[in-house]
Amino acid sequence: MKITVPHCGQMDIFINALCRRIGPEFIIPPKTSPRTLDLGIKYSPESTCLPFKFILGNFIEALEKGADTICMISDHGPCRVGMYDIVMQNILTEMGYRFNWITMDNNQILRSHLLIFVREQRKRGVSPLDALRALLFSWKKMKVCEEMERLTHKTRPYEVNRGETTRVYGECLRLIDGVANLRELKIAREDALSRLASIEQDRTRHPLKMLITGEGYMVINPHANQDIERRLGEMGVEVTRTMWFTSQIAHATRLDHFKKRSKSKAIRASKRYLPHNIGGECNASIGYAILYAREGYDGVIQLLPFGCILESVAKNILRTVSRDYDIPILTFSLTENLSETTITTRLSAFVDLIQRKIKGKGK
Amino acid sequence: MSTNLAVINEEGNVLCHRYLLTHGQPIRAIQEGLREILSLIPNGMEIHGVGTTGSARQLAGVMVGADVVKNEITAHAVGAIHFFPDARTILEIGGQDSKIIIIRDGLVVDFAMNTVCAAGTGSFLDQQALRLNIPIDQFGQYALRSKSPARIAGRCTVFAESDMVHKQQVGCNLEDIIAGLCEALVRNYLNNVAKGKEILEPIIFQGGVAANEGIRSAFERELGKRIHISKFFNVMGAIGATFLAQEKMDGGGETHFKGFEVINLHCKTRSFECKECENVCEIVAFSIGDEITAYWGDRCGNWENRL
């Protein structure tokens, strides 16, 4: 079995760590590139949303690389991700590929998948204890990766040489991806921390604080959101985002109950505006904007794939949130043909807007 | 679409301004514009600061040595607020994009720009004027003469054009079709770009399309409010950039302006794909004479930091 998953944030590091320990063989799709998107666009229904096109492209490239089993999440409710697995299977079969398909259903993560997982491992002769250890190790690795990424968000607005943080962060990820056990992970973490700390910084700056919220795939993937975190960072903005691999899993397995900024808290915060949880990231998008506005953030950027109905609902409600909490909110509807200029123009205008607002208040 | 230049003095009065069509050659247009401006400014006047804006702000910036390189949304707002300090809404329709800027108490609080479609911007009007063989500056007057505008769908310019052709074949007269087009574009703007925004008076309309009285009167009818048009409606972005440069230079420091010599220098851009990583960025190299003076377009900063 050669298993593959779509690119989603740094998830490949997690799966890679897991599979290297206890198998099966994992095929990482080639890094999402313009070619990936071109393939996705070519074989997708025209009006489907952007994540579909990226993910389909990932699968095609992974199959080309020799994968034979595809693992894909699914969801209930109005979000179109619920139809992804069926439609993608049809498209790939029609293209002539042969493969096994595993649908990961959000609601059954503990009930069925863990059981399947355990049963599969036992067949290969991996004891449940080994499996658990491997899972914990991969989880820790992922935590370290996310810790590094959070640090880059804090460092980038201060960097003196544009691009240095991004370059160092890339090195750190490779370092962490390479380690094989907890002891090495600890050393790699220290090393990565000192590398990030040695980036030349100008601490006299006063970065704005912004939250990136919206549809999960667009928020977590730089290739889908035109690298918005880096762009904002280089404009002197400290960003944070709503969507992280570990927080998402923690929410699905209900392990994030006591976290300060958990998704459940965000959903609860949105109750005043949208009493019913309508699914997808809609309620969380609204709720996170409220949570961070209360924390004193300067602005919120909402990302949605063009045509996403849930986020379009959120977009209209966020307008009221923006008024109630006096926080500027900018919405980006992303499609495959959005040019770089439109992104940078709007981002820099948004940054200007907030800076002038703060300056005006100071007077 | 157009290249605009403006010069202001210390008091913020506009001394002279130029509006040129770019004709797809921004470097030549900038040189031509500077040449014309040079002949207009009073003798012995010194330039204390330069700002650039618009979609070629980076190119123009390295070419003339700008002190401020700003996006056009901020520049338009700053320009408009200077002439109409109590403005609360700016409608801006230019050659290739349209935007709305919401202002409260002299501060930009919200803005929107056309996203997935550029239907209804100046280029389309130009195209239609050409097709109907009417000079673009008379387009508006035709619309105003109409008694009953034809109903035209403005959501997509391709469909709008087929609607127009259809109406002309069934016998609607030209004035009604043009007036119908103006109304369709205004409806499209209000439903897309300005959707959900609170349009409060005073409303300022600027950008090249503000010259079109048909569009202006369609806005007034649709909104039921008065629309103001500044004397400098088509160069407001450039004027805004001058104010931004002034603001910056008032904070002290020497200007980076390279002087008017750039008019006669041989400037050139070259673009190529960087193959160093899988991002495959399109890098632009700008050179004056044989010397490369700037790179941009790289995500990693390796090219930009090279000089």
Verify that B244 and B288 share a domain, yes or no: no
Task: Report the residue from A161, A342, A345 with minimal CB separation from B305.
Answer: A161
Verify that A243 and A299 share a domain, yes or no: yes
Verify that A33 and A99 share a domain, yes or no: yes
Task: Report the residue from B73, B116, B196 with minimal CB separation from A349.
Answer: B73
Determine the distance from the C-alpha atom of residue B132 to the mean position of all C-alpha atoms in its chain, rounded to a whole number.
Answer: 25
Q: What percentage of residues in chain B have a pLDDT greater than 70?
A: 98
Give the C-alpha separation, A196 to A194, whole Å. Answer: 5
Res. A294: pLDDT tops 80: yes
How many domains would you assign to chain A? 3
Q: Which two tokens stand for residue A35?
A: 């070619």
pLDDT digits (tens, 9 = 90+) for B43-89: 778 888 899 998 888 888 888 888 889 998 999 999 999 999 899 99
Of A348, A216, A50, A220, the residue nearest B116 (C-alpha)? A50
Last residue of one domain, picked from the residues A166, A188, A205 = A205
Q: What is the mean pLDDT of residues A322-326?
A: 91
Verify that B244 and B214 share a domain, yes or no: no
DSSP state of A260: T
Verify that A314 and A347 share a domain, yes or no: yes
B258-266, Cβ contacts within 8 angstroms, sequence gap of 24 or more: B258/B64, B258/B65, B259/B47, B260/B34, B260/B38, B262/B31, B262/B34, B262/B63, B262/B64, B262/B288, B263/B31, B263/B34, B263/B35, B263/B38, B264/B31, B265/B289
Task: Report the residue from B55, B74, B278 with minimal CB separation from A33.
Answer: B278
Instruction: For residue A333, list chain B residues with Cβ-Cβ distance below 8 A.
Output: 115-116
Verify that A10 and A104 share a domain, yes or no: yes
Verify that A275 and A325 share a domain, yes or no: yes
Instruction: For residue B71, list chain A residues with Cβ-Cβ distance below 8 A.
Output: 344-346, 348-349, 352
Of B51, B84, B85, the residue nearest B248 (C-alpha)? B51
Cα end-to-end span (Å), chain B:
31
pLDDT the model gives residue A153: 94
**This prediction's pTM:** 0.86
Nearest CA in chain A to B110: A328
Instruction: Between B265 and A237, name the one with better pLDDT.
Output: A237
Task: Report the residue from A31, A316, A335 with minimal CB separation from B278.
Answer: A31
What's the mean per-residue pLDDT of chain B? 86
DSSP state of A297: -
pLDDT digits (tens, 9 = 90+) for B31-47: 888 888 888 888 778 88
Give the C-alpha separation, A277 to B266, whole Å. Answer: 62
Determine the distance from the C-alpha atom of residue A156 to the mean position of all C-alpha atoms in its chain, rounded to a whole number.
Answer: 19
Verify that B250 and B273 share a domain, yes or no: no
Last residue of one domain, picked from the residues A147, A182, A205 = A205
Q: What percentage of residues in chain A have a pLDDT greater than 70?
A: 96
Give the C-alpha separation, A72 to A109, whole Å. Answer: 13
**Which CATH number do you get for residue A65?**
3.40.50
Sheet with A100-105, edge to edge strand ranges: A25-26, A2-4, A69-74, A100-105
With respect to residue B80, please indicate whether it lies within any of the assigned structural domains: no
Verify that A69 and A137 share a domain, yes or no: no
Full DSSP string of B97-126: -EEEEEEETTEEEEEEE--S--TTSHHHHH
- Could A349 and B111 be called an inter-chain contact, meaning their C-beta atoms sit closer than 8 Å? yes
Instruction: For residue B113, list chain A residues with Cβ-Cβ distance below 8 A.
Output: 342, 345-346
pLDDT digits (tens, 9 = 90+) for A24-80: 788 899 988 888 999 999 999 888 889 999 999 999 999 999 998 888 888 777 888
Instruction: For residue A167, list chain B residues with Cβ-Cβ distance below 8 A.
Output: 300
**Which CATH number do you get for residue A221?**
3.40.50.11900
Nearest CA in chain A to B54: A345
Verify that B244 and B194 share a domain, yes or no: no
Nearest CA in chain B to A329: B110
- Could B305 and A163 be called an inter-chain contact, meaning their C-beta atoms sit closer than 8 Å? yes
Cβ atoms of residues A255 and A262 within 8 Å: no
Verify that A189 and A211 share a domain, yes or no: no
pLDDT the model gives residue A110: 57
Verify that A283 and A352 share a domain, yes or no: yes
Verify that B59 and B34 share a domain, yes or no: yes
Task: Report the residue from A335, A345, A360 with minimal CB separation from B116.
Answer: A335
Instruction: For residue B107, list chain A residues with Cβ-Cβ distance below 8 A.
Output: 353, 356-357, 360
> Is A353 an 8 Å CB contact of chain B?
yes
Instruction: Give the A window 157-176 contacts with B, CB below 8 Å.
Output: 161-164, 166-167
**Which CATH number do you get for residue B180?**
3.30.420.40
pLDDT the model gives residue A299: 93
Verify that B135 and B202 share a domain, yes or no: yes
Of A349, A295, A305, A303, the residue nearest A327 (C-alpha)? A295
> Is A345 an 8 Å CB contact of chain B?
yes
Verify that B11 and B64 share a domain, yes or no: yes
Shortest distance between the Cα of B38 and any Cα of chain A, in A, equals: 30
Verify that A258 and A353 share a domain, yes or no: yes
Verify that B123 and B184 share a domain, yes or no: yes
Verify that B125 and B225 share a domain, yes or no: yes
Task: Report the residue from B72, B280, B301 with minimal CB separation from A163.
Answer: B301
Verify that B112 and B11 share a domain, yes or no: no
pLDDT the model gives residue A108: 63
Verify that A327 and A264 share a domain, yes or no: yes
DSSP state of A275: -
How many domains would you assign to chain B? 3
Give the C-alpha separation, B235 to B249, whole Å. Answer: 21
Cβ atoms of residues A330 and A350 within 8 Å: yes
Give the C-alpha separation, B239 to B5, whole Å. Answer: 8
pLDDT the model gives residue A113: 66
Complex ipTM tops 0.90:
no
What lies within 8 Å, CB to CB, of A160 at 6+ separation is A200, A201, A202
Band of the pLDDT at A298, cuts 50, 70, 90? very high
Last residue of one domain, picked from the residues A94, A125, A156 = A125
Shortest distance between the Cα of B222 and any Cα of chain A, in A, equals: 23
Band of the pLDDT at A94, cuts 50, 70, 90? very high
Cβ atoms of residues A43 and A64 within 8 Å: no
Which range marks the domain in which residue B20 is found? Answer: 2-75+238-264
Shortest distance between the Cα of B33 and any Cα of chain A, in A, equals: 24
pLDDT digits (tens, 9 = 90+) for B161-175: 888 888 888 888 888
With respect to residue B55, please indicate whether it lies within any of the assigned structural domains: yes
Verify that A96 and A194 share a domain, yes or no: no
Which range marks the domain in which residue A161 is found? Answer: 127-205
Cα–Cα distance list, B139 to A98, A250, B36, B146, B232 (Å)? 60, 61, 28, 12, 20
Verify that A236 and A360 share a domain, yes or no: yes
Task: Report the residue from B110, B111, B116 with minimal CB separation from A333.
Answer: B116
- Could B301 and A161 be called an inter-chain contact, meaning their C-beta atoms sit closer than 8 Å? yes
> Is A349 an 8 Å CB contact of chain B?
yes
Verify that B214 and B93 share a domain, yes or no: yes
With respect to residue B194, please indicate whether it lies within any of the assigned structural domains: yes
Of B292, B290, B256, the residue nearest B272 (C-alpha)? B292
Res. A363: pLDDT tops 60: no
B-side interface with A, Cβ within 8 Å?
A: 55, 70-74, 105-111, 113, 115-116, 196, 278, 280, 298-302, 304-305
